[in-house]
Amino acid sequence: MNSSEAHKYQLDFHLLNEDLSPVSNLLKKHGAETDSVTPLKKVHLAYPLKKQQYAFFGTALISVKTEVLPALNRDLTLAEGLLRFSLVKPGKPQEERKPRAPKTDKPTTPKSDALPTRIRPFDDATLSNEALESKLKEISQ
């Protein structure tokens, strides 16, 4: 594939306010075409980002040349009003994914060779302490 061809990417981002201009200006600057943008949604962050508890989350599908990605990544990192972003190749649509095997209701049984071997029962022919001491004396002599 030629590196000068534009590839599709998914840009997820958190903004400080509802102004989309920090992202859109940078995409225009680097020659990226915006295929679609989801409406911004105010979300409560799991932990503070740059001392902010809330942010506006959005997603954009863009087409951009691969040689522009390092510069775009750097500019997005330094952009004012942009808390966090993620730029990834979009995943396969649900229809193209390989279906999972259907679940069965019957429980699985372990294979016979996987079963533990039985431990021999306790042997009744055990030695008493006196007998053990006499054996030890015999061995040590």
Q: What is the pLDDT of residue 1?
A: 45
* Beta carbons within 8 Å of 64's beta carbon, 6+ residues apart: 6, 7, 9, 27, 30, 31, 32, 33, 72
* Residues 45-81: tens digit of each pLDDT: 999 988 999 999 999 999 999 999 999 999 999 999 9
Q: Considering the domain boundaries, does residue 102 fall inside one?
A: no
Q: What is the largest CA-CA distance in the chain?
A: 95
Domain that holds residue 42: 6-90
The answer to whether position 134 is within a domain reads no
Looking at the structure of the chain, the number of domains it has is 1
Residue 21 sits in a domain whose CATH number is 3.30.70.60
Q: Is 72 among the domain residues?
A: yes
In a domain, 78, yes or no: yes
User: In which residue ranges of the chain is pLDDT below 50?
Assistant: 1
Q: Does some domain include residue 137?
A: no
Whether residue 104 is contained in a domain is answered as no
